[in-house]
Amino acid sequence: MTNTPEKLRCDACPVMCFIAPGNTGACDRYANEGGRIVRTDALLMLSRADEAVPFAAEDWDGQVVRPAEHFVTGIGAGTTYPDYKPAPFIVSSEVEGADLVTVVTEAIFSYCGVKVKIDTDRHLGAETAIVRAKGEAIGHVTTGEYGSQMLSLGGVRHLTGGSKAEGRVACEALLALCNREAVELTIDGGSTVVVQAGEPPIVDGLREERMRVGCGSATIGMFASQWQGLVDEVVVVDDHITGVVSEHQAGKVLGWDDTGIRVKGAKSTPGRYFKVAEPGTGWGGTDLSDPLEILGEWRAKKGARAGLTLLMVSTTGEHFGYYVLDDDLTPIAADLPEALRGSVERIAENCEPALCTVLFMGGAGGSLRAGVTENPIALTRSVQDRRAYLTCGGAPVYVWPGGGITLMVDVTTMPLNSFGYVPTPALVAPLEFTLRAEEYNGLGGHVGAVRSLDDVRATGGEYATESRVEVASDVPWPLKQG
């Protein structure tokens, strides 16, 4: 670090802030305290026991802690910038007779984003529609998956390839989502949705309660036997596949009588219809407020008759209607019989609570890998061959096959406020590589920088900080995976 009058230059990231005494840098993660750069957040250690562990504290009694009981995470650890530095903490441990090394760092991710899964059958926006935060484009609607709408947010083009405002807002939104905060997003030509990891989505001001039980066809398959003998026909309205019980294979197996019903839309297979309406926020994710709009004329020659009963229901049980055909074979709304109410409630009961899932996704590049080894490709191969076990704040990650180290992690499995940022703009995420000592030596690791856990606790790191301990109870113990 180099001095300017009354200021210190922080080299913890590429911004290289000059920080005045008593102030923090642009990221709020480093400060000038008493003429030295300090890390403002505590270094997080995971523990299997509810025990407070002082970090570099004068009253530490020097008692040796078994390494398997504590795990140093990247949260609060500091970064590898400039590239030539070894990682902030390279910690040795012994687990079940095996010598392990855990390399700990806070990684700066310009190449990162989040994948958001929103449990709702309501139409949020067309595929590829732009998703905005505070008016700035930060991503797009991607292909819908079973019972959920999917968003792809962030990425290097939004973070660094657009205007300064776009990059700043994209980074701000990603940081909030990864730290499990609520973010309001608007979709061009679609809805406004409030997303928060682990919480129900709020779509156009309405809190979503249920994830659909399945498509219309699946709902027929699950509940056809419960409707038999109570109603003459059942139509499960769904934006993707609308089901008709009398035509469906489930109904045929049960011996369901033909009803002469006619459904508008593209017939896929018997009892399964595509495109019965446009996508929307109505019945079953369609734009329907009146489900009868999808029905054509009933056919007497195919079984339609006065008095025939019809249940129409959505895939969440949120919408339902009961009808009786009059003498002109026109469906007339009637009160739902108590005998059928239980089956509608059963659909709702089988719907899971609607939630938002946020997966952080990033590519671990050169500077990070150089903090682990002098030969970065060796680390990549070790991770891809599963000889090195990668965690994010102690939480298990999924590493994509193929080139590089592209990882994905559910942010709800990580400690709260695991993520930070630098105003380049980029996110900062904790990473830990755990591998056998002989593997680390073999891939050209920074062997001279390896320290014991006791030494880390007693003397800290390059940037002075405190530590805090969380009990690791909700995720697999990181060192057991190494």
Q: In a structure prediction context, what are the per-residue pLDDT tens digits for the chain, which is 482 residues long? A: 454 458 888 887 778 899 999 899 888 888 888 888 888 888 888 887 544 444 444 454 544 444 447 889 999 888 877 777 899 999 998 877 789 999 999 999 989 999 999 999 899 999 999 999 999 999 999 998 887 999 999 999 999 999 999 999 999 999 999 999 999 999 999 999 999 999 999 999 999 999 999 999 999 999 999 999 999 999 999 999 999 999 999 999 999 999 999 999 999 999 999 999 999 999 999 999 999 999 999 999 999 999 999 999 999 999 999 999 999 999 999 999 999 999 999 999 999 999 999 999 999 887 789 999 999 999 999 999 999 999 999 999 999 999 999 999 999 999 999 999 998 899 999 999 999 999 999 999 999 999 998 888 888 887 767 777 777 666 777 877 54
CA dihedral 303, 309, 312, 318 (to 10 degrees): -170
Please state, in angstroms and rounded to a whole number, the distance separating the CA atoms of residues 148 and 141. 12
Taking the C-alpha atoms of residue 295 and residue 162, their distance in angstroms, rounded to an integer, is: 48
Distance CA 429, CA 433 (A): 13
How confident is the model at residue 473, as a pLDDT?
Answer: 67
Give me the pLDDT at residue 380, please. 94
The per-residue pLDDT for 5 is 54
pLDDT score of 84: 76
The pLDDT score that the predictor gives to residue 1 is 47
By the 10 Å C-beta count (0-12 exposed, 13-18 middle, 19+ buried), 89 is classed as buried
Q: Do the Cβ atoms of 90 and 77 come closer than 8 Å?
A: no
DSSP readout, 11-24?
Answer: -SSTT--EE-TT-B
The single-letter DSSP state of residue 111 is S
Give burial (CB, 10 Å; 0-12/13-18/19+) of 100: buried
Which residues, including other chains, have CB under 8 Å from residue 445's CB and lie 6 or more apart?
Answer: 90, 101, 103, 372, 373, 374
The pairing of beta strand 136-141 with beta strand 130-133:
antiparallel
Structural contact between residues 294 and 263, judged by C-beta atoms closer than 8 angstroms: yes
pTM, full prediction: 0.87
Q: Quote the CA–CA distance of 68 and 40 in Å, as a whole number.
A: 27
Residues 6+ apart with CB under 8 A from 30: 10, 12, 17, 19, 24, 37, 38, 39, 40, 463
* Confidence at residue 47, expressed as pLDDT on a 0 to 100 scale: 82
Q: What's the DSSP call for residue 253?
A: H
2/83 Cα distance (integer angstroms)? 18
Q: In what order do the strands lie in the sheet with 266-269?
A: 266-269, 272-274, 242-244, 233-237, 309-314, 320-325, 331-334
Contacts of 121 (CB under 8 A, 6+ apart): 147, 211, 212, 238, 239, 284, 285, 314, 315, 316
pLDDT of residue 40: 83
Whether the CB-CB separation of 106 and 429 falls below 8 Å is answered with yes
